[in-house]
Chains A and B, each alone.
Chain A
Amino acid sequence: MVHRRWLSWWAVTALTMLILGPWATVASSQSSQAHAHASALTLVTTQFQPITEFADFQSILASSPAPTKAVYLDAGTLTTQLTAQEQTHNVKISVIAGLHGDFPPFVAQGFLQDLTPLLKSLKSRAFPASIVKLSQYGSKTKHYYIPWMQATYVMAINKKALKYLPKGASINSLTYDQLIAWGKAMMKGTGSPKIGLPAGPTGLLARFVQGYLLPSYTHANVTQFKSAAAAKMWQKVKDLWAVTNPQSASYNFMQDPLQSGEVWVAWDHVARLINAATAQPNNFILVPAPIGPKGRGYLIVLGGMAIPKGAPDVKAAEKAITFLTTPYAQINTLDKLAFFPATGVKIPKVLPAGIRLEANAVSAQAQSKVSVPSLLPIGLGGQGGAYSKIYTDTFNRIVLNGDNIQSVLNDEGSQLQGILTQTGAACWLPDPPSHGPCHVK
């Protein structure tokens, strides 16, 4: 009997603990939160994943007048956390520093503050107008982020590959046809395919299709999606894939296979190539992306800083953002993290070897006469992810699965039209301007 009484006691105690436990946790976290307010604000970033890069970012932030604690979260976790915090009216994130493509879900749900007043006070930073327009996500008056940093995509070349370069080809004005011929020569010469593309789960291949291939072949990235020129381009992509290392389907960051020598020629985001260039500046060269029949398509990557609604300390958040747009922070971001300034600041002449390689390639790409610059999608609201999925799926279906080109283009094209019609997004560069939603021809 005594034994049974004990059991009941245990049950009651367990129930009490279950009820009190969460409350105690909430209470203690609130008191620790209050303490944290006094010391530092929380800046969440979706960038700088390798820990060494993150440490460099923290060292830049250390000079901020508003003490700032940086936290890395991948885009998915950030969405979950911010949604939970906004829905419980218990926001703990003061600044979100992410890429243009990270913000659409938050804009769609109304989680971000309008930063127009802050933007006006930062007029002296001379943000390029095209970039400021992107931060509006189709809104007429609101600006959801302050421009933070830019980057683009280039090609990295191992110097060993140069001896296979086709006759008459120049690495700074390579065409896609020459790239394919080069790939063939390297494959013949070495016995294994030496071109690499980031087609892995978190690779940026969709950007290669949107901002590089399609504009180079069709001078558009939406309106000509299912045109004959696009179909011809996909045939070329299949030819390119035939001389590309099949492991590309699992590459996310091209700097790794470049450094191991698995591939010799690769296209990727500059920040995902820079380790190869800084580790072995004498073995690698960085060059602009190839040229197609309609010119050299290229895409600008843009990072921005936003403040969520209900952020604990808006004044301090604005201070931290203001600091990150100062010439000091902008130049250090280039120097240490390989992202270019998003302000009008002058880039210094003295730079580390890897960064210098990158800077040359980037300016060659932007200044060339044949360049067809693409903007990131404007006005797609929360559909930015679905938009990119169309380009990845098209690639996978045509190139990896070998499906019929035109029927895939028709199918995916109608899905693309669905997104454009649903969001009412007008065409953006390099497509010609449209009245009303952009139309896939």
Chain B
Amino acid sequence: MSRQVAVSAPGEVRIPRASPSLARKARQQAVAPYLLLAPTVCFLAFFVLWPMVRALLLAFQSTAGTYTSASFHTMYHDYQFMPSLKNTLILMGTIIPIEFAFSLAMALILQTGLRGRQFFLYCWTIPLAISDLASGIVWLSIFTQNGFLNSALVDLKLSQNGYAFLSYQHKLSLFFVVIVAEVWRSSSLIMLILSGGLQGIPKEYGEAADVFGASFFQRIWHVTLPTLKPSIRVALILRTIVAVQVFAVVIALTGQSLPVLGSQAYYWYVTYQNANVAAAFAAVILGISILSSAMYLTVLRTPAGVAGGGR
């Protein structure tokens, strides 16, 4: 975003026959973007950056306030730490590709001249309006012991007593249920970002590919995906950060049976009454978010000057 502004500002300076008043105007215009950004920057600094720094400090403090790494030591030796880290990474690694494939398909369908696509768009964005805890509860009513799915299975004589999808004994089905609920909940967000990006791609590129006899998948692979890269990057960064923090859906559906980093931070704060270890868990979440964002930014970089580079 900021690059866009920086590129357009020098462009404006190339006004022919600069007079003193024009130069002043140019100076004002150079300041204008920063003025416009200032409220957002202030807001973020005050309500996001400052609490984040405080939380990070808390992770390196003891309950008495002295600086120590004891919280990280406690966290590492908690028998739930490794399972929760593993589960979080597994969820990230499965939810994101599935969701991305779904969203891309949905965005492409919206791009075609399909009849009634407006209707689909409305349906697909319904989950966006529902909070994550609420969507967890919706899926709970489907998958719980006496839920909709089991009653259907029993009524259709496919099962005698239903299947305990959410039992701690069935790790695979726990993962399955959380993945389904998460994909349902946030595919539409990725879809919106991707279809925004798709609309910015000039039609001529696709037509050119058609002229050269490209098949549908060749077109997607060689034209659509590369030009969509900036949107993909934004979507993946956003989605990954949310995936590392996965919490409410997991708590609602599995309770303590599927520990993840987010739920452990919660239990350390609320149940075990230790804000410092909770902050250490939060620091791990922050670390993973930063690493994955940095990775996306490097891997999915669009070389400067490539057409369609700016969204």
Contact = CB atoms under 8 A, between A and B. Distances in A.
Are A and B bound to each other? Answer: yes
A385 B38 contact: no
Contact of A11 (B32, B161, B166, B256): B32
A382 B272 contact: no
Contacts, number: 85
Nearest to B254: A250
B271 interface: yes
Contacts of B266: 76
A198 B39 CA distance: 49
B63 interface: yes
B63 A382 contact: yes
Size class of A's contact patch? 35 or more
B273 A384 contact: yes
A262 B164 CA distance: 13
Q: For B29, B145, B146, B270, which residue has the most chain A Cβ atoms within 10 angstroms?
A: B270
Nearest to B167: A246
A97 B89 CA distance: 41
B273 A250 contact: no
A109 to B, nearest CB: 8
A278 interface: no
Contact of A385 (B32, B146, B255, B273): B273
B256 A386 contact: no
B271 A108 contact: no
Contacts of B36: 7, 10-11
Given A201-B251, A247-B145, A76 B169 contact: no
B42 interface: yes
Contact of A15 (B28, B39, B269): B39
B242 interface: no
Contacts of A327: none
Contacts of B269: 76, 79
B38 A249 contact: no
A122 interface: no
Contacts of B272: 385-386, 388-389
Interface in B255-311: 255-257, 266-267, 269-275
A75 interface: yes
A128 to B, nearest CB: 27
Q: For B25, B42, B251, B271, which residue has the most chain A Cβ atoms within 10 angstroms?
A: B271
B35 interface: yes
Size class of B's contact patch? 35 or more
Interface in B237-254: 251, 254
B256 A200 contact: yes
Contacts of A76: 266, 269-271
A247 B161 contact: no
B43 A18 contact: yes
A246 B169 contact: yes
A79 B257 CA distance: 26
B50 interface: no
A15 to B, nearest CB: 6
A15 B38 contact: yes
Contacts of B29: 4
Contact of A249 (B28, B161, B256): B256
A12 interface: yes
A382 to B, nearest CB: 6
A250 B257 contact: yes
A79 B274 CA distance: 10
Contacts of A18: 39, 42-43
Nearest to B168: A249
A385 B168 contact: no
Q: For B161, B168, B257, B273, which residue has the most chain A Cβ atoms within 10 angstroms?
A: B273
B285 to A, nearest CB: 18
B79 interface: yes
A8 B251 contact: no
A74 interface: yes
Interface in A165-185: none
Nearest to A382: B63
Contact of B255 (A11, A12, A250): A250
Interface of A: 1, 4, 7-8, 10-12, 14-15, 18, 74-76, 79, 104-105, 108, 191-192, 200-202, 246-247, 249-250, 260, 262, 382, 384-386, 388-389, 393, 396-397, 400
12 contacts: A4-B29, A7-B32, A11-B39, A18-B43, A75-B273, A247-B145, A247-B164, A249-B256, A262-B145, A382-B273, A388-B271, A389-B272
Given A200-B255, A200-B256, A249-B168, 14 more contacts: A11-B32, A12-B35, A74-B270, A76-B271, A201-B251, A201-B267, A247-B145, A249-B167, A249-B255, A250-B255, A250-B257, A386-B273, A388-B271, A400-B168
